[in-house]
Amino acid sequence: MKARGCATTAESLANGLRCIDCAAEYPLAYRLECEKCHGLLELIYDLDTLGRRGREVFRNPGLWRYAPVLPITRPEHRVTLGEGQTPLLDCPRLAKFLGVKRLLLKFDGTNPTGTVKDRSSATAIAAALQFGFQATSVVSTGNAASSIAAYSARAGLRSLIFVYERASAPKMLHIGATATDLIIYQGVYDDLIGHWDRLTEEQLFFDCGASRNAYKQEGKKTLAYEIWEQNGFRAPDVVVAPVAVGEIFISMFRGFRELARVGWIEKVPLMVAAQATRSNPVSQAFRDGGPLVPIKIGYTVAEGLATGDPGKKGEWVLRTLREERGLAADAEDEEIVEAQKVLTRTEGIWAGPTGVATLAVLGRLLATKKVDPAQTICVIVSETGLKTEAEVPARQGTAFDYASLRALVLSRLTP
């Protein structure tokens, strides 16, 4: 069925799923892995038609502007809360501070629930509708939980949300108010996800997890298309993306690769995978040159990056890094908290620790001369700071009369 009005421009050009290991192809159905080798699946598109139709096909506002390169066929399934088209900010003061020529910051904290997760939730919940599911579920450290709960509510679906016991209070409040069923789990993400992934086989709910679902991941691909479009139809030289399970990294890389195949960019940017040192299995494997080894992790301020066992998607990130000559690195919690302060002081952007891990990692890569400061560097800042829980500095207030108020203002603002 075609959309009324803009039938050709908003038509999805997805034409199947392909195994990333053995290249077996499947029709556009709800399938989480390859039947032959259990490999992960990725969506494939009719890129020739995309090239022929030209970039004018990208017309709608928000995330569904890129409907032609998303896997949702019917417009009535394209659920939205106004996600996407987040600002790409030129950051001259921060660039100067870091000693780089041109720094672009893609700030995804302006999404409806304050994080990049809304991109993948939009396509996940749309796919749940497309494949006729009544309920959704996810295991999350917090951000995916609030986002999936919100998009499920928006679509009228039941949501069974499993959330990390140490998730911040603002996240907990938000999820508690939004989810139809909220379950708090003990331990870390890695302790539960294996069991939960097994349960997805029974199809009692639509899989909104990050481990396998190609439809969910696809929404994050729009980051690449947006950056390209907002940067005057050019790709930056370097893109620094956060990695927990690896959906953002993989889908952005795929987006840039599609743009390169159609001939709309010359080459895919150098992709940097950024992790927190306390949760760095991909960065470690990259450094050691060996296979990905799951690690036991504890708490990191970058809550959204707390994944010690990213599974097959982590391996996919590593493979992409090696085959495409990307980079991976990590930053300590202290550096992440410092990056948060520097960002808000230099540019007025208040982002959460998970969101600024990329910036802390860029600082490290510049210090070790692994990234060329003369290039155009784009950093993904993936969440707002308003969901962070932290101790507030002293709350002791001062009482004023006119004279004391005037004296204070003069003492502060007289040069």
Min dist. Cβ of residue 333 to ligand PLP (A): 15
Sheet holding 135-140, edge to edge: 181-185, 158-164, 135-140, 206-207
For residue 36, the partner it binds in ligand PLP, Zn ion, none, with Cβ less than 5 to 8 A by kind, is Zn ion
Min dist. Cβ of residue 410 to ligand PLP (A): 43
Residue whose entry in the numeric block shows the structure tokens 């066992």? 309
Residues that bind ligand PLP (CB under 6 A): 115-117, 143, 210, 242-248, 304-305, 354-355, 382-383
For residue 19, the partner it binds in Zn ion, ligand PLP, none, with Cβ less than 5 to 8 A by kind, is Zn ion
For Zn ion, the closer of residues 43 and 349 by Cβ is: 43
Interface region with Zn ion, contact rule CB under 5 A, candidates 37-45, 237-245, 331-339, 359-367:
37-45
- Cβ contacts of 388 within 8 Å, gap of 6 or more: 168, 170, 352, 353
Cβ atoms 199, 192 nearer than 8 A: no
For residue 242, the partner it binds in Zn ion, ligand PLP, none, with Cβ less than 5 to 8 A by kind, is ligand PLP
For ligand PLP, the closer of residues 12 and 213 by Cβ is: 213
Structure-block tokens of residue 186: 């003990």
Instruction: Choose, by CB under 5 A, the member of 10, 32, 39, 365 that binds Zn ion.
Output: 39
Instruction: Choose, by CB under 5 A, the member of 36, 267, 341, 406 that binds Zn ion.
Output: 36
For Zn ion, the closer of residues 24 and 260 by Cβ is: 24
Instruction: Choose, by CB under 5 A, the member of 3, 34, 44, 327 that binds Zn ion.
Output: 34
Instruction: Choose, by CB under 5 A, the member of 7, 37, 173, 183 that binds Zn ion.
Output: 37
Query: Distance (Å, rounded) from C-alpha 273 to C-alpha 357?
Result: 10
Which of 85, 378, 345, 150 is CA-nearest to residue 242? 378
For ligand PLP, the closer of residues 243 and 336 by Cβ is: 243
Burial of 63 by CB count in 10 Å (0-12 exposed, 13-18 middle, 19+ buried)?
A: buried
Cβ atoms 248, 242 nearer than 8 A: yes
For ligand PLP, the closer of residues 60 and 141 by Cβ is: 141
For ligand PLP, the closer of residues 277 and 354 by Cβ is: 354
For residue 22, the partner it binds in Zn ion, ligand PLP, none, with Cβ less than 5 to 8 A by kind, is Zn ion
For residue 143, the partner it binds in Zn ion, ligand PLP, none, with Cβ less than 5 to 8 A by kind, is ligand PLP
Min dist. Cβ of residue 328 to ligand PLP (A): 12
For ligand PLP, the closer of residues 236 and 304 by Cβ is: 304
DSSP 284-312: HHHHHTS----------S-GGG--S--HH
Query: Distance (Å, rounded) from C-alpha 170 to C-alpha 120?
Result: 21
For residue 39, the partner it binds in Zn ion, ligand PLP, none, with Cβ less than 5 to 8 A by kind, is Zn ion
Structure-block tokens of residue 266: 């010359």
The verdict on 19 binding Zn ion (CB under 5 A) reads yes
For Zn ion, the closer of residues 22 and 183 by Cβ is: 22
- Cβ contacts of 177 within 8 Å, gap of 6 or more: none
What letter would DSSP give residue 80? -
For ligand PLP, the closer of residues 140 and 376 by Cβ is: 140
The verdict on 103 binding Zn ion (CB under 5 A) reads no
Cβ atoms 148, 141 nearer than 8 A: no
For residue 245, the partner it binds in Zn ion, ligand PLP, none, with Cβ less than 5 to 8 A by kind, is ligand PLP
DSSP 323-391: HTT-EEEEE-HHHHHHHHHHHHHHH---B-HHHHHHHHHHHHHHHTT-S-TTSEEEEEE-BBGGG---P
Tell me which residues touch Zn ion (CB under 5 A). Answer: 19, 21-22, 24, 34, 36-37, 39
